[in-house]
Amino acid sequence: MANALPRSFLQVATTEEVASPLRVVQMEGLAILKIIKHCKEFSPALVTGQLLGLDVGSVLEVTNCFPFPVREDDEEIEADGANYQLEMMRCLREVNVDNNTVGWYQSTLLGSYQTVELIETFMNYQENIRRCVCIIYDPSRSNQGVLGLKALKLSDSFMDLYRNNNFTGEKLREKNLSWVDIFEEIPIKVSNSALISAFMTELEADAPVTQCDYDRLQLSTSPFLERNMEFLIECMDDLSMEQQKFQFYYRNLSRQQVQQQAWLQKRRAENMTRKAAGEEPLPEEDPTNPIFKPLPEPSRLDSFLITNQISNYCNQINGVAGQSFSRLYLLKALHEN
């Protein structure tokens, strides 16, 4: 862009800004380590914190973060928490850290993060920051030598629906939104400053095997899989509850329709006789009648979230089982040797 005409600030300000979609989250190693440390120290309790960084075009840079204290249900403490946040931001600004909030991070247990709370928090953040992201870290995965880090955002069409609180079947069909489309995962890039890169190269141990390798080649995965299955089964129960709710709703709906039809037929027959007698026909609708009251349709949000969670567990089981296969075959080959 060196030979492009220089543009004045006014020109830049007046050109309508086209929001390019968020494609990549670029995280600094520092932020990753901070998140990992915080989440791991408090595991299995779930913790959250704030992400700081810059929004550059289609890349969202996460350069720093700070943890939130463990939340308590006291209002006084909540106000304290807000103070803490401001204070921390102020302090970090003083040492020249980027102090734009770009989202938040939270730890999760076996990837069970798809909750209504997460969506609510996201909507809250979205109100203030146009582009924000949620980083999810799973400490239980790191014991297997996997960096369980994910960047998520809600899809735009889902946010529209959520704002209007429209989770009826009709609307969902109109928007063609299924449970897969609630969350969007954004690829994560990692960047480090040259200085850190130099130090890490310097400090990398000469040992041929790292902790990561040990963790990955660990044979016992059953505790992880067992808990995963437990969670999965719970979710299946929840899902069947939700489905029962829907069945109940549909049964009521069809019963109501039958009642309406019967009432209408009766009314029509009555009108026929009235016509024959030369009287005015009665209206074919009666809003006061309870059978015309529309039944509230249960929200599909819960079942969508549960479905999401189930598919997540399934993916995890698949992934871990796949790893175990390779480990077992490796073991077999080694033993035969």
Partner 1 sequence: MATTGKQTVLQFTPSTASLTARVHPLVIFNICDCYVRRPDQADRVIGTLLGSLSPDGIVEIKNSYAVPHSESSDQVALDIDYHHNMLLSHQKVNPKEVIVGWYSTGFGVSGGSALIHDFYSREVPNPIHLTVDTGFGNGVGTIKAFVSVSLSLGDQQLAAQFQEIPLDLRLIEAERVGFDILKKTAVDKVPTDLEGMEASMEHLLALIDDVYKYVDSVVEGQVAPDNSIGRFISETIASLPKIPPSAFDKLVNDGLQDQLLLLYLSSIIRTQLSLAEKLNTVAQIL
Which 46-105 positions form the footprint of partner 1 (CB under 8 A)? 64, 67-70, 84, 87-88, 91, 94-97
In three-state secondary structure terms, 149 is strand
Least Å from the CB of residue 4 to partner 1 = 26
Q: 198, 262, 264, 269: which one contacts partner 1 (CB under 8 A)?
A: 198
Q: 23, 71, 79, 187: which one contacts partner 1 (CB under 8 A)?
A: 187
Smaller CB distance to partner 1: residue 33 or 295?
33
d(CA 240, CA 247): 10
Phi, psi of 186, deg, nearest 5: -110, 135
Interface region with partner 1, contact rule CB under 8 A, candidates 30-38, 54-62, 159-167, 287-295:
30-38
Q: 7, 37, 163, 268: which one contacts partner 1 (CB under 8 A)?
A: 37
Interface region with partner 1, contact rule CB under 8 A, candidates 13-21, 115-123, 191-199, 282-290:
191-199
Residues in 289-318 that interact with partner 1 by CB under 8 A = 307, 310-311, 313-314, 317-318
Longest dimension (CA), the chain: 105
Interface with partner 1, residue 326, by CB under 8 A: yes
Interface region with partner 1, contact rule CB under 8 A, candidates 28-36, 116-124, 260-268, 278-286:
28-36
Angle at the Cα of 145 (from 28 to 64), degrees rounded to 5? 15
Least Å from the CB of residue 172 to partner 1 = 8
In three-state secondary structure terms, 104 is strand
One character per residue 132-171, x = contact with partner 1 (rule: CB under 8 A)? ---------xx-xxxx-x-------------------xx-
Least Å from the CB of residue 144 to partner 1 = 7
Smaller CB distance to partner 1: residue 268 or 332?
332
- From start to end of the chain, where are the E strands? 24-28, 48-56, 59-67, 101-107, 133-137, 149-154, 183-186, 188-191
Nearest CA to 231 out of 73, 114, 62 is that of: 114
Least Å from the CB of residue 23 to partner 1 = 12
Smaller CB distance to partner 1: residue 11 or 326?
326
The 8-class DSSP code of residue 106 comes to E
Nearest CA to 285 out of 304, 307, 260 is that of: 260
Spatial CB neighbours of 253, under 8 Å, sequence gap ≥ 6: 295
Q: 75, 202, 280, 285: which one contacts partner 1 (CB under 8 A)?
A: 202
**How many residues line the site for partner 1 (CB under 8 A)?**
93
- Residues 244-257, buried b or exposed e (16+ Cβ, 10 A)? eeeeeeeeeeeebe
Q: 58, 115, 124, 193: which one contacts partner 1 (CB under 8 A)?
A: 193
Smaller CB distance to partner 1: residue 241 or 269?
241
Nearest CA to 168 out of 297, 38, 80 is that of: 297
Smaller CB distance to partner 1: residue 125 or 313?
313
One character per residue 236-255, x = contact with partner 1 (rule: CB under 8 A)? x--x---x--x---x-----
Nearest CA to 153 out of 101, 108, 102 is that of: 102
Nearest CA to 304 out of 237, 232, 243, 234 is that of: 243
Spatial CB neighbours of 260, under 8 Å, sequence gap ≥ 6: 291, 292
